[in-house]
Amino acid sequence: MEAVPALIDEMKHNEWLEAQVIQITPDLMSNLKDFSSVVSLLISGSQLLFLERINHYRDAGAQEWMQKLIRVLGII
């Protein structure tokens, strides 16, 4: 009997979550995780392939299109 108020609160909370416009489900979270992994692979791969090493590999330089690509993918 002591757990009944907590169960009622949980049921009200679950009802409120189901009524929301954007529902965050475990499937959605899994898809977002997969998407963020793909974006991070794109950023890392593009840096690996197109980053220019200058000054005997002490500094890294990127072309302007590369910097824009990384910025856009970082925002996504």
Q: What is the pLDDT of residues 43-76, one digit of tens each?
A: 888 877 877 766 665 666 777 777 787 788 877 7
Q: Are 73 and 37 in contact (CB under 8 A)?
A: no
Among candidates 32, 37, 43, which has minimal Cα distance to 73? 43
Q: What is the mean pLDDT of the chain?
A: 81
pTM > 0.75: no
Query: Strand pairing partners for 53?
Result: 60
The pair of three-digit structure tokens given for residue 2, joined into one six-digit string: 């002591």
What count of residues does the chain have? 76
Residues 28 and 36: their CA atoms lie apart, in Å, by 12
pLDDT in tens, 8-26: 998 998 888 888 888 778 8
